[in-house]
């Protein structure tokens, strides 16, 4: 059973994924990590240079992710184009890993910050993690050097709360403590076990 976990930046999606992974003994396929791996692929490197120019390379000829981020986060069209280059690579890797891991694990988690049709198609059960805006901003300030303005720019680039929630089989509101989140894991585990039984 593939459990898709998504949610906006600062909502606690990765924390929730780790906790659920420990509870279910389920491997996590992190779309963000896989997309970072894509930058090491020669095929992606060539496409990226054709798209953004050789200026995005560092002195060793590798893609400088900071330079890329500075270009695409200011331009919606360029961000869409970047996603169209990276996305097929990420989805193929996730697909391949699901096929190999499903022989060994009854539950597999995919952690995706920007869900799309492929994510929905791959997931048997989708959990959206959400939190109030002020809480998200405080969390992001603590874990990064971003200003509030930079944080808001990133939040606005993501889908709305309604769009994230429309995808979900269930929604977790993560506005409280780690203990609160742990309690919600117990409830989710029961839901997943029941859902899995009814899948067959």
> Of 104, 125, 158, at which residue does a domain stop?
104
pLDDT higher than 70, residue 200: no
pLDDT higher than 90, residue 27: yes
**Mean pLDDT of the region 17-26:** 97
pLDDT higher than 90, residue 157: no
Residues 4 and 38 grouped into a single domain? no
Give the CA distances from residue 56 to residues 34, 109, 193, in Å, rounded to whole numbers and listed in that order: 20, 33, 46
**Mean pLDDT of the region 75-96:** 91
**Mean pLDDT of the region 10-20:** 96
Give tens-digit pLDDT for 134-149: 999 999 999 888 899 9
pLDDT of amino acid 28:
98
Tokens of 187: 């409830």
Residues 9 and 67 grouped into a single domain? no
Angle between helices 65-72 and 42-52 (to 10 degrees): 40
Domain of 7? 1-27+109-200
**Mean pLDDT of the region 15-44:** 94
pLDDT of amino acid 8:
94
pLDDT higher than 90, residue 162: yes
H helices within the chain, ranges in order? 13-24, 31-38, 42-52, 65-72, 76-101, 117-122, 133-143, 148-157, 161-166, 178-199
> Of 70, 104, 138, at which residue does a domain stop?
104
Give the CA distances from residue 106 to residues 19, 21, 26, 91, 103, in Å, rounded to whole numbers and listed in that order: 17, 12, 8, 20, 8
Residues 65 and 139 grouped into a single domain? no
């Amino acid at each position: 059973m593939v459990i898709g976990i998504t949610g906006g930046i600062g909502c606690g999606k990765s924390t929730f994924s780790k906790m659920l992974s420990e509870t279910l003994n389920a491997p996590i396929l992190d779309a963000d990590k896989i997309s970072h791996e894509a930058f090491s692929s020669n095929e992606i490197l060539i496409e990226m240079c054709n798209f953004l120019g050789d200026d995005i390379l560092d002195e060793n000829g590798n893609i400088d992710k900071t330079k890329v981020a500075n270009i695409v986060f200011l331009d919606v069209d360029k961000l869409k184009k970047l996603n169209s280059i990276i996305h097929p690579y990420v989805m193929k890797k996730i697909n391949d890993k699901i096929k190999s891991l499903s022989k060994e694990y009854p539950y597999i988690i995919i952690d995706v910050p920007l869900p799309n049709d492929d994510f929905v198609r791959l997931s048997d059960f989708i959990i959206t993690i959400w939190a109030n805006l002020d809480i998200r901003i405080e969390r992001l300030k603590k874990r990064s050097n971003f200003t509030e303005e930079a944080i808001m720019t990133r939040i606005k680039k993501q889908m709305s709360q309604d769009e994230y929630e429309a995808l979900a089989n269930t929604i977790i509101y993560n506005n409280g403590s780690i203990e609160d989140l742990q309690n919600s894991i117990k409830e989710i585990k029961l839901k997943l076990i029941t859902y899995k039984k009814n899948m067959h």
